[in-house]
Amino acid sequence: MRASVLRDGRMVYRDDVADPVPGPGQVLVAVRSCGICGSDLHFAAHGSQVLKMTAEAAGAAGAMDVDLSRDIFMGHEFSAEILEAGPDTDTHPAGTMVTSLPILLSAKGFDPMVYSNSTLGGYAERILLSAPLLLPIPNGLDPRHAALTEPMSVGLHAVNKSNIERGETALVIGCGPIGIAIIAALRLRGVESIVAADFSPKRRELATAMGAHQVLDPAQGSPFDSVKARVVFEAVGVPGIIDDVLRRARWGTRLVVAGVCMQPDEVHPFFAIAKEINVQFVLAQTPEEFAESLRALAEGEIDVAPMITGEVGLDGVGAAFDDLADPERHCKILVTP
């Protein structure tokens, strides 16, 4: 079957990948749509660094067993149609449209469907999913929109971790896919003042479309000069930005760090001490947040249509990875096998 795989830092089209065979508790599905995530781009460019730092953070037991010299399967934001269940597996009927947390359960344990030499991800025609984790896509929701359940739930997780209340002002720094997901989740939670900052006019436009009440261009001055935010979401992930927030934020700010910075970074603890700033780092989502995001998409409470800026086939994934570098052109590109 067809798939797009990471080989020597580039996404390569293959038409000779072996079809997966579902084991007990697993389900064979046909991928309908898979979003390209910034973390996939990052892994393609800096895979060895990601693996090394994951091992350092998690200890040897949590290290990911990935061989960068072999083909790697990726794609963790997907929707799919059920084809057939594995042996002794009770699940929804064939033809049901589903999504799932990107985790494959097996008799040996579980594999994250993030970067793997063996477990297929969503950049493939057919993949395996875990029957207990399947969520049917309700209300006839467009499978392309359902594929964005995973990235939208990342935003919901960041917002939940902030414990923001409706009357508090939120400032979202960076309006790439993570910042946009945070804005949509703030809107879902009924937050009445959402301010978003990004250098890119296109991204500011998208932030407005997804629910920001006010957008700011940091080139025109620091957002902290004009906004009295209680909760700040950092969704950029470059060195220096956390320290800048600590320096400029008001007393008692809660800072949620959702941007993924892989370099060492310098902060002045004194800024945070002097203003009793609470810093919360966040990652991924809970299963409940994943399910709530799917529900919000299906009920029309979040509309992800403005985020989708491109669609490619499995043979177009390599070019799409290159195109995503330009914030003026793209937010989310979907792969349709």
Q: Which is nearer to Zn ion, 37 or 135 (CB)?
A: 37
Strand order in the sheet with 193-197: 214-216, 193-197, 169-173, 231-234, 254-257, 278-281
Q: Which is nearer to Zn ion, 119 or 253 (CB)?
A: 119
334/82 Cα distance (integer angstroms) = 20
**Considering the complex, what minimum distance in angstroms separates the CB of residue 39 from Zn ion?**
5
Sign, Cα dihedral of 115, 120, 125, 131? negative
334/73 Cα distance (integer angstroms) = 16
What is residue 235's DSSP assignment? -
**Considering the complex, what minimum distance in angstroms separates the CB of residue 126 from Zn ion?**
21
Q: Which is nearer to Zn ion, 37 or 128 (CB)?
A: 37
**Considering the complex, what minimum distance in angstroms separates the CB of residue 279 from Zn ion?**
22
User: Residue 28 forms beta bridges with which residues?
Assistant: 84, 128
299/253 Cα distance (integer angstroms) = 33
**Considering the complex, what minimum distance in angstroms separates the CB of residue 303 from Zn ion?**
19
**Considering the complex, what minimum distance in angstroms separates the CB of residue 284 from Zn ion?**
8
Q: Which is nearer to Zn ion, 34 or 245 (CB)?
A: 34
Q: Which is nearer to Zn ion, 37 or 188 (CB)?
A: 37
Cβ-in-10-Å burial (0-12, 13-18, 19+) of 311 comes to: middle
- Tell me which residues touch Zn ion (CB under 5 A): 37
